[in-house]
Structure formats: C-alpha cells, structure tokens
Amino acid sequence: MVSIKDIAGACGVSTATVSKALNNRDDVNPATKERVQEVAKQLGYLPNAMARALKTKKTYNIGVLMVDKAQSGLKHHYFASILDSFKVVMERNGYDLTFISNQIGEQMYSYYEHCMYRNIDGVLAACVDFNTPEMQLLLESKLPVVSIDYISDNGYAVVSDNGDGVCRAVEYALAKGHTEIAYIYGEDAQVTEIRKQAFRKTLATHHCEIRNQFVRQGKYLNSELAYQLTQELLTNCEHRPTCILYPDDICAVAGIAAITDNHLETGKDISVIGYDGNPVLQMLRPKLTTIWQDTETMGLKAAELMMKLLRKEQIPQAEKIIYCESILLAGETVAQL
C-alpha cells in the first residue's frame, strides 16, 4: 500500500508537506501541491480512514435511521428522495452513510450503542418510531441528530409543513363544492396528529360538519387497509362522502381501485386526493390530485443543518427547525360539484 512517505520520497519533500498538499491546504506552494497530488494519483495512493480518524477524532461516517415498523423507509418515495439529496451533499463533504438499526449480527443493541460501535459522527433520523425509549435516548445524547418530520425539545429537524398541506387539500375540495369530506389517516405519529388537527380545524373554519364516521385510521403505504376502509366509506356510512383524502399516494391509488370496484367513477362520482406527489403515480390516469412535498430541498436542508452541527457552529433557536413548503398538484380526481 502506498504511504505518504512514498509520495514524499518521490517528490523530494517532507511528509508534512505531502499531508498539507493532499488536504488542499493553502500554506503549500501551488506548484508543489499540484506535483504532490499528481504523484499520489500516479502511485495509486488512497487515504487511510482509520489513520485519519485517529488524528481528527472523526470517522466521517453519518448514521441513517430508516427502521419503521412497516420496513418501508427505502421503499417510500418520500424518504428515499430525501435521503438521496442528503447523501449527495454529505458525500461532497467527505462523509459516508451507514444504516443504523438495533441489531448487529445476532446481538441486539440500542440505536445509541450501534452508533458508538460504528463510531458515528452524526445521525439522520429519517424514518423511525420516535416515541420509543431508545430513540429518545439517542435524541438526548451528545451525538448530532437531525430528524425528519419530528420536532423535539432542543432538537434539530427538517419538516414538511404537513398542517399546511392538509389545509390546502381540504380547501381545494371545498372550493370545488365538496362538504362531505372523509379522511383516512396514517398510524399514530407526530405527523399524523398534525394532519388530523389541520383537517378538523380547516373544516371547522369553513363551518362544515365533521362526521366522525368519515375520519378513519389507516396505515401509511398500506394499500390493502386503504382499500378496505374506502369500501366501508362507500357502503357502510349513512351518508357517503363525495371526496376522500388519503395519507399517501399509494393508499389513494388503492382507494381508486375500491371506487372502481363499486362501479363508481373517480373524479366524477367520488373525488380523491392523495399525499406525497409521487412522480411515478402522477403518470396514472385519471391524473391524481395530491399534495407535493419538496423532498429534494428537505434533504439539502437536512445536510446543511448536519454540517453546521458537525462544525460545532452556533445555530440560532429560530433555525433549529426548518419548514419546507407543501404544494397542491391539481389533477383529474376531484370533481366540480
């Protein structure tokens, strides 16, 4: 394996000069720096991560938590897209990503213990049950943690404006003349509670009756349950809703299937609004009306926040929580009454 000493001997300079040149330091003659970097490339030099870690006390390794109960994190376009843009920025700054869980081989560990085992410098908590004791332990530790869609006391987070997103969806349906609006929401989570409150508040603001039978708990990305609940709304309710809001686009597509199976037409007999703005599902016809979330910006903002934490920068209280806008994409699944 080629070492710094080998490069120093080939260039006729000290190992200290080689180290500075390879780290692109400004206190090295530009010509010397260029020569050292060229020789290092020719010799096939690769920096030793373990040696760098011993010297800098950093491993340049960021942990990623995507371990929700449904194991849907990487399958979920929303979280996968956030992770993709986060990854680009972190790699540009020299960091690798490692997925963290509560298991290493056959041994069970807490998230914090796994981070210590891997010498993680920071953690992106993108898809996880934040209410568990081990997650709270990680949030309260000294490790830099940036969470996605979860706000904690003194924590750092990037969140989609879920309340505003649901408000936009309900107000769009109301503007189209719908007052009998149903909502199938996801499992218990901070995001879910924010969305439910926004749903009820928006209807109340517009003096619309909130029928308890129209508000049903489903699960995120669970198409079978979304289909079943849609069937119930269409057949078991005293008053059938004219519009149904879903927790995500996958569930909305399942709802459309249930509507079709009841010999009804989506966008005419029953209206549908999804959530996430999945670009693949936007190709379906009728085109799905949905709430688009700016996942690329969320990933970029999460990376910027993480870099500030890793550099130990002072972050003002107002900048600890970053909100990203949600936008309604008008499709063809909401009828004008």
**Is residue 54 predicted with pLDDT exceeding 50?**
no
> What's the whole-number mean pLDDT along residues 61-83?
76
- For 230-244, the pLDDT digits (tens) are 999 999 877 899 999
What's the Cα-to-Cα distance from 177 to each of 66, 254, 335, rounded to whole Å? Answer: 40, 24, 9
Residue 106: band (very low, low, confident or very high) from pLDDT cuts 50, 70, 90: low
What pLDDT score does 26 carry? 81
pTM over 0.85: no
In the chain, the domains with their CATH numbers are 4-47 (1.10.260.40), 61-160+297-325 (3.40.50.2300), 162-293 (3.40.50.2300)
> What's the whole-number mean pLDDT along residues 243-262?
96
Residue 82: band (very low, low, confident or very high) from pLDDT cuts 50, 70, 90: very high
- For 279-294, the pLDDT digits (tens) are 888 889 999 999 999 9
Q: Name the CA dihedral angle for 226, 229, 234, 235, rounded to a multiple of 10 degrees.
A: 140
8 within 8 A of 15, measured Cβ to Cβ: yes
**Is residue 30 predicted with pLDDT exceeding 50?**
yes
What pLDDT score does 268 carry? 94
Query: Higher model confidence: residue 59 or residue 136?
Result: 136
> What's the whole-number mean pLDDT along residues 263-277?
95
Residue 10: band (very low, low, confident or very high) from pLDDT cuts 50, 70, 90: confident
Query: Higher model confidence: residue 48 or residue 167?
Result: 167
C-alpha to C-alpha distance for 131 and 152, rounded to whole angstroms: 11
What pLDDT score does 131 carry? 83
Provide DSSP, 100-135. E-SEETTEE--HHHHHHHTT-SEEEEEES-TTSHHH
C-alpha to C-alpha distance for 52 and 8, rounded to whole angstroms: 18
